[in-house]
Amino acid sequence: MQKILIFTDLDGSLLHRDTFKFEEIKDYIKKLLSKGIFIIPNTSKTEKEILEFNNELGSSLPYICENGAAIKGLELLNSNLPKELILSKEKNNIIKIFEKSVPIDLQSKCKWLSDMDKKKQSIIFGLEDQKLEMALDRKYTIPFIFDGIKSEKNELFKIVKKVGLVLQEGGRVINLTDKVNKAKALQVFVRFFKKNNKKVKTIAVGDNYNDLEMLKACNFPCLVFNDKFTLDEIPIKNLIITNKPSPEGWADVIKMALAKINKN
């Protein structure tokens, strides 16, 4: 029997871009789950944030946190699978490599969120109190704002790549990470899942630049409306697109993707 896996970004894809709510589509998500469709958050969010999302949904979903750094909850799909797969170095090791490799003048342009006061952190993340604390409780990624010109930023990206690390640019911050991403984590997840289920179709939903590799790695790539993009920027075949923003846009592209799967 064919299994369907939906890998989804959260902020701006499934969750409303500003309020982070999803009440409008909660019943639809539950309907998908009741049909045996698997939904796997694949996001830059932390483990605590995703567990909070699971709590609000009222379901225990497996998930990929911190931009592909770790896979959690595989045993929810099959008791023979591991509870977690860690794909990344821990952040202390990552920052040591960064500080050793990046010139001081470029380091000074990197404004780490962990060094900012609560007010600035809150403005950048759009979160307060406990939700802000959960967003900052990172094990594998270090968020920052780059305060420099484009050429300096390009140089920073080159240096970081050369030493085996990655800068992932999202909607609000840049994350310094190990050489992991949402696409690699998706592929690892599917490989483990296929040990017990050979027939698998994958859907991926995103809305930002750091989602594009994930979209390329699935069978049915879906893009939720984001006015940052022009379509000629996205060289992905068979891309399913909606002009509706999240969360309604998420339901819109999933319905289109499932219709395509049912045709085949």
Within 35-141, strands assigned E span 38-41, 63-65, 70-72, 84-86, 110-112
Q: Does residue 39 sit in the same domain as residue 153?
A: no
Q: Is 43 in contact with 64 (CB distance < 8 Å)?
A: yes
Average pLDDT, the chain: 93
Q: Does residue 185 sit in the same domain as residue 241?
A: yes
Decide which of 144, 178, 212 is a domain's last residue.
Answer: 178
Q: Does residue 259 sit in the same domain as residue 185?
A: yes
Q: Does residue 80 sit in the same domain as residue 110?
A: no
Sheet order of strands, 63-65 included: 63-65, 70-72, 84-86
Q: Does residue 148 sit in the same domain as residue 97?
A: yes
Count of the separate structural domains present in the chain:
2
Q: Does residue 171 sit in the same domain as residue 128?
A: yes
With H, G, I as helix, E, B as strand and everything else as coil, classify residue 113: helix
What's the token pair of residue 108? Answer: 């000074």
CA–CA separation, 71 and 83 (whole Å): 8
Q: Does residue 250 sit in the same domain as residue 120?
A: no
Q: Does residue 128 sit in the same domain as residue 234?
A: no
Decide which of 137, 163, 178 is a domain's last residue.
Answer: 178
Q: Is 72 in contact with 62 (CB distance < 8 Å)?
A: yes
CATH of the domain at 137: 3.30.980.20
What's the token pair of residue 261? Answer: 């799967």
Decide which of 136, 154, 178 is a domain's last residue.
Answer: 178
Q: Does residue 165 sit in the same domain as residue 229?
A: no
Kindly give the confidence (pLDDT) of every residue in the chain, 264 residues in length, as a single tens digit, with 9 standing for 90 and above.
789 999 999 999 999 988 999 999 999 999 999 999 999 999 999 999 999 999 999 999 999 999 999 999 988 888 888 899 999 999 999 999 999 999 999 999 999 999 999 999 999 988 899 999 999 999 999 999 999 999 999 999 999 999 999 998 876 799 999 999 999 999 999 999 988 888 999 999 999 888 999 999 999 999 998 887 666 667 788 899 999 999 999 999 999 999 999 887
What's the token pair of residue 105? Answer: 């003048």
Look up tokens 């990197």; give the residue: 110
Q: Alpha helix (H) ranges present in 35-117?
A: 47-57, 91-101, 104-107
CATH of the domain at 198: 3.40.50.1000
Q: Does residue 64 sit in the same domain as residue 123?
A: no
Q: Does residue 151 sit in the same domain as residue 186?
A: no
Q: Alpha helix (H) ranges present in 163-232?
A: 182-193, 212-216
CA distances from 65 to 1, 51, 89, 136, 181 (A): 28, 10, 14, 13, 10
| CB atoms closer than 10 angstroms to residue 230 | 7
pLDDT of residue 231: 65
Q: Kindly calculate the radius of gyration of the chain based on its CA atoms and give it in whole angstroms.
A: 18
Q: Does residue 160 sit in the same domain as residue 206?
A: no
Task: Name the residue type at position 242.
Answer: T
pLDDT digits (tens, 9 = 90+) for 133-162: 999 999 999 999 999 999 999 999 999 999
CA distances from 230 to 26, 56, 256 (A): 29, 33, 21
Task: Name the residue type at position 232.
Answer: D
> Which structural domain range is residue 187 located in?
3-86+181-263
What's the token pair of residue 157? Answer: 């990206």
Q: H/E element holding 261?
A: helix 248-263
